[in-house]
Amino acid sequence: MTKPDVVVTGLGATTPLGGDVASTWDAMLAGRSGVSKLTQEWADQLTVKIAAQLAVEPSEVIDRVRLRKLDRSEAVALIAAAEAWADAGLADAGLDKERLGVVVGSGIGGAQTLLAQDDILEASGARRVSPHTVPMLMPNGPAAFVGLEYGAQAGVHAPTSACATGAEAVAWGLDMIRSGRADVVIAGGTEAVIHPLPIAGFASMRAMSTRNDDPEKASRPWDKGRDGFVLGEGAGILILERADHAAARGARIYARLAGAGMTSDGYDIVQPHPEGTGAARAIAKALRDADLAKADVVHVNAHATSTPVGDIAEIAALRSALGDHPVLTATKSMTGHLLGAAGALESIATILAIRDSVVPPTINLDDPDDALTMDVAAHKARPLQIAAALNNSFGFGGHNVALLFTRP
């Protein structure tokens, strides 16, 4: 059975670099960092006092009354989805809603709501807990609110695989369309956990950078001085569409979603396999799924979070699955790590790299690790004709997701 072609017809994002895709992409190409010092009083007690916070607050976009019924992760998902929906020209497309699906996940979910309502419970008693608490903290909340907004009736799904969530959502969306369950899928990831408890938890694992006195230099994938990831927040949403459906309505096509590969390490709950074997298998599966050769893939938007072990394990995986030729980048050097939104945001960067024939830079790569034997677009964006590009995402729990996009 031949698989139907699936294309990307709309993009939306709100990130530490900008309130939409265009401003985020401009900032990436300019090599700007979205990381800053946390000025909130609660940050004083933490060992980590930096994060990549949203460039545009949701309150500037969504009215106060609606916002008080939404977790921040739901609000940013709705903002990114609105941009993607409009970008794809779906508002007036007369879509059959029974053929519209949603796959939007979050790595952690409504933790800010959970913690805020627990504060109310402790301070004021059970009766004061908001009746909106459950829809705000449930992990499927962002997907459900997006589905409700656009009347999606083909199925609303919320994968969760930590930092691979956003990419896994895109892979599920591909499956929904290929298996005939939907014509159009709103797919992506969202995360908003810049709060003392999640930060303290990651910090206790020694997973985060403590370069508090130099925030813009803190996220430095593959650099010898890297000391952990920088937490970011935001959302990325893609509109996936069956190619003949997009063609029939004359939609603008950004890229083909040519294939996906998903594996699990079966190795450790948080450590990646040191040789990146699970990641390499995911990439190999994606190549087979997309019917592409190693040589076709000339650019990789790597997972590369700026942790000592993970960055190098990924290099091993890339070399074994693709060879040494692709030009790499790690846009987390600029955005920080958006956890469950990362794979979606980085898919958007991968797609725009194909469209604009340019690899966005990896900033702060001043002193490359000796184990970095591949070519990275360090410091500055690099022009490159890209027929096919890979986006990698890996998550705590041993989740590996590889997505392949090609020029339409």
Partner 1 sequence: MATREEVVTGLAEILEEVAGVNPDDVSEEKSFTEDLDVDSLSMVEVVVAAEEKFGAKIPDDEVQNLKTVGDAVSFIVANS
Q: How far is the CB of 135 from partner 1 (least distance, A)?
A: 8
Interaction site with partner 1 (CB under 8 A): 63-66, 68-69, 127-128, 130-132, 135
Active-site choice (157, 195, 337, 399): 337
Q: How far is the CB of 65 from partner 1 (least distance, A)?
A: 3
Comparison of 132 and 319: residue with beta carbon closer to partner 1: 132
Kindly state the smallest distance separating residue 306's Cβ from partner 1, in Å.
41
Most distant CA pair in the chain: distance in Å?
Answer: 62
β-strands 382-383, 358-359: how paired?
antiparallel
Pair of tokens at residue 306: 């700026």
Which phi and psi (to 5°) does residue 376 adopt? -120, 140
Nearer to partner 1, 63 or 92 (CB): 63
* Least Cβ distance, residue 133 to partner 1 (angstroms): 9
Q: Identify which of residues 68 and 97 has a Cβ nearer to partner 1 in the complex.
A: 68
Q: Find out whether 139 and 113 touch, Cβ atoms under 8 Å.
A: no
- Residue placing its CB nearer to partner 1 in the complex, 22 or 138: 138
Q: Shortest Cβ distance from residue 54 to partner 1 (Å)? A: 23
Half-sphere exposure of 62 toward its Cβ, with a 13 Å CA cutoff? 22
Q: Please identify which residue in the block is written with the tokens 């309130």.
A: 19
Q: Are strands 100-106 and 327-329 parallel, antiparallel or unpaired?
A: unpaired
CA-to-CA distance for 68 and 116, rounded, in angstroms? 12
What residue ranges in 69-224 does DSSP mark as E strands? 100-106, 156-157, 184-191
| 233, 72 contact by CB (below 8 A) | yes
303 is catalytic: yes
Residues contacting residue 75 through CB under 8 Å, at least 6 positions apart: 58, 62, 67, 192
Whether the Cβ atoms of residue 184 and residue 95 lie closer than 8 Å to each other:
yes
CA–CA gap between residue 61 and residue 79 (Å, rounded): 8
Compare residues 3 and 69 and give the one whose CB is closer to partner 1: 69
Neighbour-count burial for 234-248, b at 16+ CB within 10 Å, e otherwise: bbbbbbbbbbebbee
Active-site residue identified among 157, 163, 195, 399: 163
From 157, 273, 303, 399, active-site residue: 303
- Residue 195 annotated among the catalytic residues of the structure: no
**Distance (Å, rounded) from C-alpha 60 to C-alpha 76?**
11
- Distance, in Å, from the CA atom of 40 to the CA atom of 408, rounded to the nearest integer, reads 45
DSSP H or E segment with residue 328:
strand 327-329
Q: Which is nearer to partner 1, 37 or 132 (CB)?
A: 132
| 3-state helix vs strand vs coil in the chain, percent to 5 | 40, 25, 40
Q: Is 337 in the active site?
A: yes
Nearer to partner 1, 116 or 381 (CB): 116
**Annotated active-site positions, please?**
163, 303, 337
